[in-house]
Homo-oligomer: A and B are copies of this chain.
Amino acid sequence: MSEHPETTYAVLGLVDKLPGSSGYELAGVAANSLAFFWPVSRTLLYRELTRLSAMGWVEPTRVEQTHAPSKWTYRTTSDGQRALSDWLATPPDSAGSERNPVLLRLFFSYRLPPEQARSLLSGYRDRLEMQRDQLNAISEKLSATATPQARAGWLAARHGVLTIEAALLWVDEAEAFLAEAPW
C-alpha cells in the first residue's frame, strides 16, 4: 500500500481513459487536457508508464507498424483499475500549490518602474487570452461528445475558462489601480 505520487495516477487514469494508446499518443492528449491542471512532461510520462508496467497496473503491448517505428501500447489491468478507483476515493491533499511567476513579480513590483509593471500585466493578459482561447476550443470539441469521459473533460476545461476570465478581470482592475496611483 505504498503511496505513489499523484502523477502516477494521472498517467494511470490517462491510460484507462484511452486504452491501447502509445506513450507518444498519451503525451499528445495530456498536452491538451492534463497540462492545464496537472502538467506531465513527456519524459516523466514515459517513466511512469515503465513504472506502471513494472507494478502490473498497466499491461504493455508491442505493436509493429510499417509506416512508422514500432510502438508500445498500454491498457490498464484489473489491478490498475482497482488502484485508480482507490486513489480517486482518497481525499485530495490540501490546496494544490499554485505557482504564479507573474504574481511573484508583482508582489515586489514597487521596485520596478511603472512602465515595466504595466508590461508585466499586459504580458499576463496576452498569455491568459491565449489559454482561454485554447480552452474554449477544447470545450467546443468536447461538448460535441456525450460520453462521461468527454463530459468530465468539459467540466475541467470549464473550470479553466472561468478562473482565467476572473484573472483577466483582475488584470483590468490592477491596471486601473496602478494608473490611479503608480509607485
Contacts and interface: CB of A to CB of B under 8 A. Distances in A.
A163 B152 contact: no
Count of identical protomers in the assembly: 2
Given A95-B131, A97-B99, A107 B170 contact: no
A38 to B, nearest CB: 5
A102 interface: yes
A6 interface: yes
Interface string A153-183: 1011011001101110110011001000101
A112 interface: yes
A93 interface: yes
Contacts of A108: 13, 16-17, 84, 88, 152
A64 interface: no
Nearest to A166: B166
A162 B152 contact: no
A63 interface: no
Interface of A: 6, 9-10, 13, 16-17, 33-34, 36-39, 81, 84-85, 88-89, 91-112, 116, 120, 123, 127, 131, 148-149, 151-153, 155-156, 158-159, 162-163, 165-167, 169-170, 173-174, 177, 181, 183
